[in-house]
Structure 1
Amino acid sequence: MEVDFLLIGQGLAGTALSHRIIQKGHTLMVLDSPLSNKSSRVAAGLYNPVTGKKMVRTWLADKLFPEIEPFYASIENLLGKSFLHKRPIYRPFLTIEEQNEWMGHSADPLLQPFFEKIYTKPLFDKVFNPFGGILLKNSGFLDINTLLDAYSDFLLGKGYLRLEIFNEKEVIFENNGLKYRDIKAKGMIYCNGLGALESEFFKTLPFAPVKGEILDIEQDFHPEAVINRGVFRISLPNGLKRVGSTYSWHDLDIGPTERAVRELFEKLDKLIKIPDKNLVAHKFGIRPATKDRKPFLGKHPLQDRVYVFNGFGAKGVSLVPYFSKVMLELLLEGKEPQKEVNIMRCM
């Protein structure tokens, strides 16, 4: 079998890049291990243009956010599935001073595209929001599991996906490309999250893995908006509420923890006035974050047939649509990614 590209991993990064490649009329083969840690599958899938304790505009928001909804909508149209949920995000103010500060920010032209409305009085009676809050737009969440499952079926139907463990030692480099078992390709791209650390090509990349845990609960109060302060609370289509997320750089043990349940419930109790809740599911994942919080894109400096598209961490849903386009320009046109994300900053 001869293809243009061999992709390692079909998480969110591998799915997005393969979609871009196929859209351009190129061929590929994706190798995906069903037993590997798949941080994409336990991510909440939230995309939020204004984040952090200080509520600053997300890095590169002007480039990232125009790509998000059209990109995922194009995959929805291809697959005939729905997994993109456009939702406003409501962030309560903690003090009158914060309310006043954000009344001033509302005139900032860089933030205006992401503001729906600023409330000076409580918007929800079941939320602790005595000083009102800010309602954000161009936001929502992605049902990543539905996306990955549907796209996996699509790739299998095309003969573009094999569910098997990749063995780098079997790669043979040739003059015009490389060979892996019965596959010949012009280039190979590592989209396999922390699995890239097992590669001789990318084992020195400065990943900073982060463990995250999320909960699915039963609880009354079903707002369309995502409520986000300390934790996020998403009303899922199935009636459950998703609450998250924890961030741990030190405890990377495999498995969910009782500590995470206590932490998330304590924060939820400070956000939502309803004490009754029933834990339905508890999930964890190890995110492929990086030390400088920027993804890894680029070509290996010594092996020009080997590439990496990786390190998207907790904001993968927001980052991947734009940067998959950037990566495609490297693959097809040789255009180097910007310095902030180019792996040459690390190698």
Structure 2
Amino acid sequence: MHKSSEIDYIIVGQGLAGSALSYQLIKEGKQVLVVDDGNPHTSSKIAAGLYNPVTGRKMVKTWKADQLFPNLITFYQELEQILSARFLIELPIYRPFVSLEEQNEWMGKSSASEYAPYVKQVHCKSVYPFANDPFGGIELLQSGYLDIPVFLASYRHYLQNRDSLDASRFDINELVLGKGSVTYRGVRSRRIIFCDGLSSAKHKYFQWLPFSPVKGEVLRIKANFELKNILNRGVFVVPLENGLFRVGSNYDNHDRTLVPTEKARMEIEGRLNELAKIKYEIVEQVAGIRPATRDRRPFLGLHPEYETIGVFNGLGTKGVSLAPYFASHFVRFLEYGEELHPEVNINRYFSLYYDSHKN
């Protein structure tokens, strides 16, 4: 618990969003208290942590890639130095082509200024003997994965050393709103920012926001083959250590449980078997619920009635790449009054709030 009874920000949640935002505020010299009970089942701790500049079936640059990716690598490398830990694994993604037409298309696109920073090499023949890549594939730069459990544990230790962590479960009933401040368990703060994933969808301040949760499951397999890239087409295969690989993921908009399912396992295995001909053993299967949003854009901003209450949430499946840039973006809004990007500003949904409070 923070020694000071008056601080600048209370941050609820220490997932990717809460960690990134609290660190950016600390860099600004602000006093913060992060409230997080260390729940092992949060989406951040279960996520595979991939960051990938070219995504989707049509293989296009991900939204705001030119802003997100340079910022991403600098941010996590800086924290690796401060936390004396390694969690950013820079690894080219290899994405097989599905046709000769796709190969030809990328031969042209790879040298275009729009895509050149993200392309390491276009391969016109098979790279891996076990992969289904008869037309070759594209190797991407500025890609890899974040070892999220190591990152979160290392940053949690950092917060503890600063007396900036309340390691208990947040209780909304203990939040007291004042004029120009909030108070939580005796700590007075200029603002409170909710970075608590789908928990925000359950309490009165932000339950009106259109979250669209998506369940995803990931396998950990043991196999005897070498992979110098992340293999990604329909499913990702991430090389770990000691012959282990992470494989996923699926998307389920209906199941809201954290129970791994046979249906998801069969779906992931089916895609893996289409992508690569390998023998493997499944050693683990985990499930998580991603805090996605209706329009697949994050939620940033202040409550329509209470300027002391904010939200930084809804990062969905791309939290690793979105969190650093938008945490900095949000801090510039909070501290210097810079306008929020219209696509992430929660004022795009204020009508939902007012509609829900008509009676």
Return the TM-score normalized by structure 2: 0.94
Structure 1 counterpart of 2:344, from 336, 341, 346: 341
CA distance in 2, matches of 1:199, 1:252: 18
Could you say which residue in structure 2 is the equivalent of 1:38? 42
SS of structure 2 residue aligned to 1:18:
helix
Equivalents in 2 of 1:315, 1:44: separation in Å? 10
Residue 103 of structure 1 corresponds to: 107
Q: Secondary structure at the match of 1:179?
A: strand
Q: Name the CA distance, whole Å, in 2 between partners of 1:154 and 1:106.
A: 41
2:137 maps to which residue?
Answer: 133
Alignment of 1:267-278 (within 5 A): 267-274=271-278, 276-278=279-281
Aligned position for 1:290: 293
Residues 237-289 of structure 1 show CA distances to partners (whole Å, capped at 9, x for unaligned) of 34310000011111222311011111111111111121x21111111100000
In the alignment of these two chains, the number of paired residues is 346
Within 5 Å, which residues of 2 pair with 1:210-229? 210-229=214-233
Q: Aligned to 2:260, what secondary structure does the other structure show?
A: coil
| Corresponding residue for residue 354 of structure 2 | none
* CA distance in 1: counterparts of 2:251 and 2:284, whole angstroms: 18
Query: Any idea what the Cα deviations from partners look like across 1:135-164, whole Å, max 9, x if unmatched?
Result: 100110000000001111111121111121
CA contact (8 A) 1:177 1:187 kept: yes
Residue 252 in structure 1 maps to residue 265 in structure 2: no
What's the counterpart of residue 121 of structure 1?
Answer: 125
In structure 1, C-alpha distance between the alignment counterparts of 2:286 and 2:227, rounded to whole Å: 23
Aligned amino acid, residue 95 of structure 1? S
For 1:141, the aligned partner's letter is Y
**Corresponding position of 1:299:** 302
Partner Cα separation in structure 2 for residue 106 and residue 344 of structure 1 = 38
Q: Which residue of 1 aligns with 2:314?
A: 311
1:292 is aligned with what amino acid?
A: D
- Contact 2:221–2:284 (Cα < 8 Å) also in 1: yes
Counterpart residue type for residue 221 of structure 2: I
Aligned letter for 1:291? R
- CA contact 1:37–1:286 (8 Å) conserved in 2: no
2:308 aligned with 1:320, yes or no?
no
Q: Find the counterpart in structure 1 of residue 156 from structure 2.
A: 152
Q: SS where residue 65 of structure 1 aligns?
A: helix
5 Å matches for 1:199-238? 199-238=203-242
Q: How does 1:32-71 map to 2 (within 5 A)?
A: 32-35=36-39, 37-71=41-75
- How much does 1:188 deviate? 0.3
Q: Which residue of structure 1 aligns with residue 335 of structure 2? A: 332
How far off is 1:8 after superposition? Answer: 0.4
Q: Secondary structure at the match of 2:218?
A: strand
SS of match in other structure, 1:200: coil
Aligned partner (choices 21, 26, 32) of residue 25 of structure 2: 21
CA distance in 1, matches of 2:171, 2:253: 28
The residue type equivalent to 1:337 in the other structure is L
Q: Which residue of 1 aligns with 2:171?
A: 167
Equivalent position of 2:357 in the other structure = none
Cα-to-partner distance string for 1:195-231 (whole Å, 9 max, x where unaligned):
0012211010000000000011001222121000110
Unaligned runs of 5+ in 2: 351-359
Contact 1:298 1:336 in 2 (8 A): no
Secondary structure of the 2:275 match is coil
Instruction: Indicate how the Cα distance of structure 1 residues 36 and 45 shifts in structure 2: closer, same or farther if over 3 A, else same.
Output: closer
Measure how far apart 1:88 and its partner are: 0.2
Q: Does the 8 Å contact 2:299/2:313 carry over to 1?
A: yes
Counterparts of 2:216 and 2:290, CA distance in 1:
7
> Contact 1:122 / 1:131 at 8 angstroms: preserved in 2?
yes
185, 194, 201: which one aligns with 1:181? 185
Q: How far apart are residue 37 of structure 1 and its match?
A: 4.1
Q: Is the 8 A contact 1:7 1:31 kept in 2?
A: yes
- The alignment-based identity, stated in percent, is 45
Distance of 2:59 and 2:152 partners within structure 1: 31
Change (3 A) 1:186 1:339: same
Deviation at 1:102, TM superposition (A): 1.6
For residues 133 and 192 of structure 1, the distance between their equivalents in structure 2, rounded to whole angstroms, comes to: 38
Q: Please tell me the root mean square deviation across aligned C-alpha atoms, in Å.
A: 1.1
